[in-house]
Structure 1
Amino acid sequence: MTSKADGNLWRASSAVHVEAPPLTADADADLVIIGGGFTGNTAALEAARRGASVIVLEGKSVGHGGSGRNVGLVNAGLWLPPRDVVAQMGQEAGLKLVGLLADAPKLVWSLIERENIDCDATPNGTLHLAHSAAGLRNLEERHRQGVELGASVQLFDARETARRTGSRAFYGSLFDPRAGTIQPLSYARGLASAALRAGACLHEQTAVSRVERIGDRWQVTANGHTVRAGSLLLATNAYFKGINIAVRPQFVAVNYCQFATAPMSEPLRAEILSGGEGCWDTALVMSSFRTDRAGRMIVGGIGDAGGPGAAIHAGWARRKLRQVYPQLADLAFEHAWHGRIAMTGDHIPKILKLGPSAYACFGYSGRGIGPGTVFGTRAAAALLDGREDDLPVAPVAAHTERFVGAWAAYYEAGAVLTHAL
């Protein structure tokens, strides 16, 4: 059974709304933030709670970018295994980042509780699913590394994985009890609302056109007006576009698409992911699976559902659903949407130093919720206190990614080919 899918589920189901009029006059602040997603809103909240004057400029609406198009998995750590992070960054820097991001879900859950954010928070863990025997070996190594570093992760066999997921398609799984799922747009909006309550100013429909350093102040031009601030945070991640600025973040933009079914029946909800865990698999072109509060099954995968390969990605989602959950074969897709991921060549997030008291945070490589919350919080503190040592990664004066257009096309072509087959 098929039906025409209609837009972003998170926009259709969010219970949180933000009132943020466009910028209509010049303004001054201690900190100006460009981008109203996880990183920008968390930074605004932290800075406002510290007593700083804060202005957030969002070109579209809060959570318009990756934060409102996210799968909604609150993961601990990065896509890379911990030892790979250490190998690339060095022992001290690598273990520092691994430790901070291991605790990222704890920070997310605490902010949700403290600010009373209605975002369907489900801290019931995640399941990294082995799609093959080789995938299971990969998970065994990840489990070994996690236990070595003190993480409370558990390795499940195929039988326990089938019991938890309601699917016999997987060879096993790695369970992380620290993690879980949220309604990502509601979380982004909830952070923005909390920042407003703390005294921050937020302006939607305020696209920044120019950023420059004049004297000892940053001057940001948007909507024909000027915001002057002592500190600056660029938090656009994969949605950086059209800003005239001397130092620009570089990354490979990778598309990710999602398809949400109609709500499952109560018997099926009791059978499929009844514990509320969020899932993704070990395939090179990965897939994700989760349910929402209404009992919809949400299937995701690499690919641009708004591009030339849209029909192929949609056809893949239907086949994938039938393969993993044959009991849902006739359940219609009601929502379809896609977003961009900012990928770095080494899969390590970056903090780019734009000038005095100015950073750009980007490159979460598909792990936006936990890292975005950590990086935003710590970037705000560093900008206000001048303590770069507290940042998750050392800021760099320049970061170069080669052949970004070619790599983006490569990822999309690979996804189209894989999904077509």
Structure 2
Amino acid sequence: MMQNDGLQALLAAPSWWQLQSSQTAAPAASLPADSDLVVVGGGITGLSAALSALEHGFSATLLESAALGSGASGRNSGFVVPVPGRHSPASLRRHLGSLAQPYLARLAQSARTLLAFPGAQGENAGWMLPCGTEDKPDAEARARDWTAYGIQADYLDAEQLAERLGTSRYRYALNFRQGGQLDPLALAQSMAAACRNLGGGVVTHCPALSFRRAERGGYRVLTPQGEIVARRLLVAGNCYGEGPCRPPGAVMTLILGVFALSPDAAARCLPQGIPFSDGYKDMWFFRRLAGNRLMTGLFALPGQSGTTDCERLLRQRIHHTFGTASGALLQMWAGRIGLTRHALPHLHCPDEALAYWHGCNGRGLALSHALGSNLALRLLRDEAPVLPASRAWPQPAGDAMRWMAQLLVARDRRRRTVSLAKH
């Protein structure tokens, strides 16, 4: 990994959303004695779960170990992606069988819900997936395949892509009209306010230290404020969980930066405001922000020399993609991404009263909302699952999986660097 001190500083640095937020933190609720649903983790999964429980007449208490939005939900890019990362309709059919259709429908519905959520500053401009390696017939067929599953996907050729994104670096793209972008911290804060308005408890700075089966069913959850009895327990901290609440699995670090743009550069970069992430292992992604600003990022890899090297690489990406220089670096920070072997979330339900999940695979907002709602109602009302769950975690292979993922990203980064040097 890049120099440890530099990476730790980026993981601790405030995100752009945290710097821009003017909202005053609401007072933390007190810990009740019991609750129908206790959710560990105050991110989008946890908030979605608590909201769904409250909307269906159940009591819900959310435990957040720090401030609201201090984990992945306040540190990501804010992309709302209505399809799974790294999957095509065909690969989803292979992995999920008959669950593929309802899973995609749930993701698309969650994308619509989040982009329209009051206070989230959602922009439903779509989300684009540029393709640099697929043949034209393959890309066109994939767009038709997504459409057959109810996903609004359009095939764009290089000319259409350049008009909408301002880049000529890609041959084709798929435009997912149900996608878009938002402020993820504002979303989390707005969802928490909605939970409070429905009578839910949002207890911040209150980590779950341990949990054990209760004598009459459910779980006893120990916190610094005391113990709460949960009729049903959802552990939703994902790769930001600690101790017994941290699932096994691979974690990679994504570094993000926000750059100022001159008026001329702003006119060339994403002129229609459509965010995009390309389909390479070393993913390049961009979104516009208000005030002539551009967000981008990259995966942290072993051998990177620190934040100066990261800034240089990000500036190169902006120049190679849009043919323009970037202005001042306004903020740089880092966040964690949970990975799984098949690029689909892993759900763990060891008994009828407990559920975990792990592995957003870099497509977290719509996915987290969909899983939070489904897992809550699965625990409380036996709702049909949108993904299969196991009663046991897979054997821990986090280090090996992270090493393999870093190897693939590094290989792709070298290949693209050589290719760009020739042009």
- TM-score, structure 2 normalization: 0.87
Partner Cα distance (1:55, 1:126) in 2: 34
Partner Cα distance (1:308, 1:355) in 2: 46
CA gap of 1:282–1:376, structure 2 versus 1, over 3 A, is: same
Partner Cα distance (2:266, 2:326) in 1: 15
Q: State yes or no: 1:273 paired with 2:280.
A: no
User: Match of 1:11?
Assistant: 18
User: Match of 1:349?
Assistant: 345
For residue 82 of structure 1, what is the amino acid of its counterpart?
P
For residue 405 of structure 1, what is the amino acid of its counterpart?
D
Q: CA RMSD in A?
A: 2.6
Partner Cα distance (1:40, 1:149) in 2: 28
Partner Cα distance (1:94, 1:46) in 2: 22
Deviations 1:270-323 (A, max 9, x none): 432232211011212111111112331111222269986544433211211111
Residue 335 of structure 1: which of 331, 337, 346 is its match? Answer: 331
CA-CA distance at 1:105 after TM superposition:
1.3
Moved more, 161-170 or 348-357: 348-357
Give yes or no for contact 2:345–2:359 (8 Å, CA) kept in 1: yes
Aligned length: 403
Give yes or no for contact 1:304–1:338 (8 Å, CA) kept in 2: no
1:45-124 equivalent positions in 2, closer than 5 A = 45-79=51-85, 80-90=87-97, 92-110=98-116, 112=117, 116-117=118-119, 119-124=120-125
CA gap of 1:384–1:17, structure 2 versus 1, over 3 A, is: farther
CA-CA distance at 1:361 after TM superposition:
2.6
CA-CA distance at 1:368 after TM superposition:
0.9
User: Match of 1:213?
Assistant: 213
User: Match of 2:391?
Assistant: 397
Structure 1, unpaired ranges of 5+: none
User: Match of 2:44?
Assistant: 38
CA-CA distance at 1:134 after TM superposition:
3.5
User: Match of 1:261?
Assistant: 259
User: Match of 2:3?
Assistant: none
Q: State yes or no: 1:368 paired with 2:375.
A: no
Partner Cα distance (2:47, 2:135) in 1: 36
Partner Cα distance (2:21, 2:140) in 1: 37
Moved more, 226-235 or 41-50: 41-50
For residue 303 of structure 1, what is the amino acid of its counterpart?
A
Deviations 1:169-207 (A, max 9, x none): 222211111110011111112111111111111111112
User: Match of 2:282?
Assistant: 285
Partner Cα distance (1:281, 1:49) in 2: 37
Partner Cα distance (2:70, 2:134) in 1: 37
Moved more, 280-289 or 216-225: 216-225
For residue 296 of structure 1, what is the amino acid of its counterpart?
R
Give yes or no for contact 2:80–2:115 (8 Å, CA) kept in 1: no
Q: State yes or no: 1:126 paired with 2:120.
A: no
CA-CA distance at 1:103 after TM superposition:
2.8
CA-CA distance at 1:128 after TM superposition:
0.8
Partner Cα distance (1:268, 1:318) in 2: 13
Partner Cα distance (1:11, 1:307) in 2: 26
CA-CA distance at 1:217 after TM superposition:
3.0
Q: State yes or no: 1:156 paired with 2:152.
A: no
CA gap of 1:48–1:143, structure 2 versus 1, over 3 A, is: same
User: Match of 2:4?
Assistant: none
Q: State yes or no: 1:358 paired with 2:354.
A: yes
Structure 2, unpaired ranges of 5+: 1-8, 418-423
Deviations 1:75-95 (A, max 9, x none): 1120111210110122x1222
User: Match of 1:196?
Assistant: 196
CA-CA distance at 1:210 after TM superposition:
0.3
CA-CA distance at 1:419 after TM superposition:
4.9
CA gap of 1:313–1:271, structure 2 versus 1, over 3 A, is: closer
Moved more, 361-370 or 137-146: 137-146
